[in-house]
Structure 1
Amino acid sequence: MTTTVSYTDLPGLVGTDLGYTDWFEISQDRVNTFADAASDHQWIHTDPERAKGGPFGAPIAHGFLTLSLLIPLWVELLDVQGVSTKVNYGLDKVRFVSPVPVGSRIRMTAAVVEVTEVAGGYQLTVDATIETEGGTKPAVVARSLQRFYL
């Protein structure tokens, strides 16, 4: 469910749990495409047959692939109306806690922990957790910085 707010509502979001995104499947095709883009063709990601005998028992997504999905998942959670620009300002902390097997589904939950006024806008500090369906630990935990400008 997407939370829709206006620009002027942003300061009031501190402490808001934005809920969960829809599930998103991680396909081998997506992993291979990411491997091409990142020039990271390590066999644990791109060789399903060899990966069966590896440490995870199957191919896994790159940690940075899973992290890169934070933004498309983020836009499912929050829609800010009345702004001219939305900027992914960066990350304060990231941990790749557990692997994401190819063929599994992930989703994200996020909470706004801080809203700071910046020149021409607001910066939201967001604690985001990406989890794998059926997993016992998160896949990725990140503190994300998002900016919204009039």
Structure 2
Amino acid sequence: MTTFASLTDLTAAVGTELGTSEWHTVDQDRVNLFAEATGDHQWIHVDPERARQTPFGGTIVHGYLTLSLLPVLAKECYGVEGIAMALNYGSDKVRFPAPLPVGTAVRATAVLVSAEEVPGGVQAAVRFTITSEASAKPHCVAEAITRFYPVG
């Protein structure tokens, strides 16, 4: 994990790898809760019996659930000190190259793609690559854009 003492230090680190998170297992309970929260009850995610008959051999995690893991994974990859708040500004280039089987442990690696001044703070784009030992391809690649505002 990389911890930056300031936004100036963050800005100077463009192009560098920031860190890799711990492993986090995505279980069927989490998938079912996500389905309830979003209304996405597609059977490939929530019906283990039916999903066993597919080429996947079981249920797979919603792509957007995989993407929504970024906050917990990101805080294990990097941090910035002296911040009053950090706001999610959006995401670019979101892709789900490989399905994620339910019950699989994933982790993310973060690379700082850009960091530039915006009124009152710094906007940073970090490319996260979410992987597992279950696939040679990543399960999600996305550039998360965050606006950081310093204390004071």
TM-score (norm: length of structure 2):
0.94
80-89 vs 7-16, which moves further: 7-16
Counterpart-to-counterpart distance in 1, 2:114 and 2:46 = 39
Shift of 1:133: 2.0
Equivalent residue letter for 2:3 = T
Post-superposition CA distance 1:34-53 (Å, at most 9, x none) = 00001011110001111000
Contact 2:104 2:134 in 1 (8 A): no
Post-superposition CA distance 1:47-73 (Å, at most 9, x none) = 111100023111000000000001110
Stretches of structure 1 lacking an aligned partner (at least 5 in a row): none
State the partner residue of 2:97. Answer: 97
Shift of 1:134: 3.2
Q: Does 1:147 align with 2:147?
A: yes
Equivalent residue letter for 2:130 = I
Identity %: 52
Contact 2:19 2:78 in 1 (8 A): no
State the partner residue of 2:69. Answer: 69
Counterpart-to-counterpart distance in 1, 2:80 and 2:71 = 14
Counterpart-to-counterpart distance in 2, 1:139 and 1:73 = 14
Counterpart-to-counterpart distance in 2, 1:19 and 1:32 = 30
CA RMSD of aligned residues (A): 1.0
State the partner residue of 1:59. Answer: 59
Alignment of 1:69-88 (within 5 A): 69-88=69-88
Counterpart-to-counterpart distance in 2, 1:132 and 1:25 = 10
Aligned with 1:10: secondary structure? helix
Counterpart-to-counterpart distance in 2, 1:60 and 1:142 = 19
Stretches of structure 2 lacking an aligned partner (at least 5 in a row): none
Shift of 1:127: 1.3
- Superposition misfits of 4+ residues, deviation over 6 angstroms: none
State the partner residue of 1:6. Answer: 5
Equivalent residue letter for 2:133 = E
Q: Does 1:107 align with 2:107?
A: yes
Equivalent residue letter for 1:6 = A
Counterpart-to-counterpart distance in 2, 1:54 and 1:110 = 32
Aligned with 2:130: secondary structure? strand
TM-score (norm: length of structure 1):
0.95
